[in-house]
Amino acid sequence: MELQLKATLKIVTNLQPVDEDFYAIKPYNAEDNEKLKTRVEVERWSLEPIDFQPQVCLESETVFHDSNLREKDWTDCEERVQESVGIFQVTHQFVNC
């Protein structure tokens, strides 16, 4: 089974997991903006995943460590360029491979 993710990125260049315990995770970068992309393959054994709660570390020119996508949207200010940054319309789906 694969977990696919889609999001609209504003100035954010790279989404990656908060925890280093994750493995086999493919990057979601600025080039993937608004595209559905497989992020991870999941061995499900006899379990069926029903939801995904993204928590990430974000990079633009600044790394945002305390980002939270539980509400499926996130905004902050990029102090270096005095612009707002954000991730919007986060969606996901599980697909059988």
| Residues pairing with 78 in the sheet | 83
Q: 19 is in which domain, residue-wise?
A: 2-95
Structure tokens at 30: 């600025």
Structure tokens at 63: 């790394």
90 neighbors 73 (Cβ within 8 angstroms): yes
Tell me: the pLDDT tens digits for 54-97? Answer: 765 555 567 776 677 777 888 888 777 788 888 899 888 888 87
Nearest Cα residue to 29 out of 52, 55, 60: 60
37 neighbors 5 (Cβ within 8 angstroms): yes
Task: For the chain, give the percent of residues with pLDDT over 70.
Answer: 79
42 neighbors 1 (Cβ within 8 angstroms): yes
**Count of domains observed in the chain:** 1
